[in-house]
Amino acid sequence: MIVYVESNFVLEIALLQEQHSACEALLELCVTGRIQIVVPTYAMIEPFGALFRRRAERNLVKDKLDNVLRELGRTTPLSKSVEDAQVSLDTLLGTSSTDEFIRWKITRSRIAAVAELIPFEERVLQVAAASEVPLNLAPPDAVIYASVRSHLSQTRPARSCFLNRNFADFQDPGLVAELDALGCKVLPAFDQGLSYVRGMLARSG
């Protein structure tokens, strides 16, 4: 069974988000050969932008908190508490961003070792550009969709599904219908997708 995933699959595992257990279970099914996970190459790269934005947002928050703590530190009775808070803040925000980038790189390597990667090539870009307006897709989502559709058209798997967490982006009726016509079921959550995959595997024995 072919299981397509998008960028959030990588982020769920790397950032230990709420559906990371389902993603890990899917990855284990791939490792044991019960399913084949297929990932657009772009989906392995796109998380860098999300992590970079998270770090930039935290830096803005840190700058504001630094100013507040600096003001509070002028009050003598609070100076020691402010100093401790400043150290904790620097450690928390600095370490968290570094750890996230490290986990992303590790996760990317783990997935690449067992999954099939869909090349980011000219044909994918052409399909993506043609899909943006009719399917109401932002350019990054159009590239993910075009990658999945191109792979489906080339391989025609007997059973497949596309798992994602971008419900608003990948639930356009036209998009769902196009993938369904290629035998691919669209599921808007990884835990929901895991249940579906397990059900299909159970039926096939």
Whether 137 and 194 map to the same domain: the answer is yes
Q: Residue 179 is part of a domain; what is its CATH number?
A: 3.40.50.1010
Are 162 and 189 within 8 A, CB to CB? Answer: no
Both 84 and 135 in one domain: the answer is no
Question: Are 34 and 54 found together in one domain?
Answer: no
pTM of the model: 0.83
Residue 171 pLDDT more than 90?
Answer: no
**Same domain membership, residue 94 and residue 179:** no
> Residues 92-107: pLDDT tens digits?
666 677 788 888 899 9
CA dihedral sign of residues 117, 17, 28, 177: negative
Q: Give the pLDDT band of residue 187 (cuts 50, 70, 90).
A: very high
Tell me which of 103, 123, 146 is where a domain ends: 103
* Residue 46 Cα distances to 40, 68, 70, 95, angstroms: 10, 34, 37, 22
Domain check: are 33 and 60 in the same one? no
Residue 56 structural domain: 50-103
The top-scoring range by mean pLDDT among 18-27, 93-102, 169-178 is 18-27
Of 17-21, 31-35, 50-54, 169-173, the poorest mean pLDDT is in 50-54
